[in-house]
Every structure is written in C-alpha cells, then in structure tokens.
Amino acid sequence: MTCCAAHASWPQMSRRALFGAVALGAGVSLMTALKPTVAKAAGHTEALLLTCMDYRLANEVEAYMTSRGLRDKYDHVILAGASLGAVTEKFPAFNETFWSHLDLAIQLHQVHRVIVLDHRDCGAYKMVLGEAAVKDPQTELASHVKQLYALRQAIVTRHHHMEVEIGLMNLDGTVTQLV
C-alpha cells in the first residue's frame, strides 16, 4: 500500500515541479527580452581602447567610439592619465596593468589596433607632471603629445604589427587626432 500511495502522489508532485520549471523559464525569457543587448560569443575584436578614468567624459568616450563605428567592438582599459598612466615611473603598477591587459586583449580577442585617448584638464597630468606642464592649451597639448608618443613607441617596440592611434579629447567630447 505504501508503495502504491507513493506512486499515486508522484504525478502531482511532478506537475508542481514542471510548473516551477516553466515559471522559471518564463522569468529567464522575460529578463532576456528586457536586456537591451546580449554579449556575443567571445571571438576577435577590433581594438583596445585606453582612456583616463575621468567621470566627466565617460559618455563622450562611448559616443566617440560609436561615431567611429566601434560600438561593442573594443576592449577598454582605464588608467588615470591614460598614456601617462601607462608610461609614468611614478605608478609602475599602472604600467604593468596596461601591458598585461594589452597582452590579454591580443591573446583573447586578437586585437590589432590600440587607440589611446588622453583628455584635456586631466588631473593625473597635473598631479604627476605639475601644473606648469598644463599651464596653457599649447603647453598642455605638448605634454600630452610627449606621453602619447612615448607610449606609441613602446607599443610598437613590443608588438611590431600593432596599429596605434593617439588623440586628445577636449572637454566637449571632440577629439584632436594626433599623428
């Protein structure tokens, strides 16, 4: 009798479990539907972007990359000072972080281009190089060019076939491309 009672109750429990699974499945489907984008399977991508951490330009950086047709097509490393963070002797841990992430981006996503975007009125430049290095727009530009050139040279020395773009973002989000 015990055996038969157990069997008798089984179909009911099974239906309850099935209902739970369906409800859970429906919830997952709804969450997926509400999510605006779904990450694609990992593969190769276009570029690695290096920018400063400055909160004022987060949207502008994303808008710039979208305007370049690179939305969702780049890895992103953020270091205070961008190029300066990658090369300054004052923050060796920043340097190491950049190089290890570049190596990973090459290994995981086969990136073939590095885009380095410094920005004007950068607090890291003032802190590391001093106010005199950014005292007026021309001096500020020259200070960025020096660091950006140094990083570009270091990248192509390590990775001969890597394309390197360098630029300086203004506070309105426009970018001065440098050659």
Question: According to CB under 5 A, which residues from 7 to 36 bind Zn ion?
Answer: none
Interaction between residue 52 and Zn ion (CB under 5 A)? yes
- Nearer to Zn ion by Cβ, of 62 and 163: the residue is 62
CB 144 within 8 A of CB 125: yes
- Residue 158 and residue 116: Cα distance in Å, rounded? 16
Question: CA separation (Å) from 52 to 34, 101, 147, 169?
Answer: 31, 15, 13, 10
- Residue 119 and residue 140: Cα distance in Å, rounded? 10
Q: Which amino acid is at 128?
A: V
> What are 34's two structure tokens?
């509400």
The correct pick among 117, 122, 128, 155 for binding Zn ion (CB under 5 A) is 122
Kind and range of the H or E run holding 156: helix 137-158
Which region among 9-17, 34-42, 53-61, 98-106 touches Zn ion (by CB under 5 A)?
53-61
Beta strand segments in the chain, E: 47-51, 74-78, 113-119, 163-169, 175-178
The correct pick among 49, 50, 51, 54 for binding Zn ion (CB under 5 A) is 54
The site for Zn ion, by CB under 5 A, has a size of 4
Least separation in angstroms between residue 146's CB and Zn ion is 16
- Nearer to Zn ion by Cβ, of 117 and 122: the residue is 122
Phi, psi of 74 (to 5 degrees): -145, 150
- Nearer to Zn ion by Cβ, of 141 and 156: the residue is 141
- Nearer to Zn ion by Cβ, of 20 and 123: the residue is 123
Least separation in angstroms between residue 87's CB and Zn ion is 14
- Nearer to Zn ion by Cβ, of 122 and 151: the residue is 122
Q: Which residues bind Zn ion (CB under 5 A)?
A: 52, 54, 122, 124
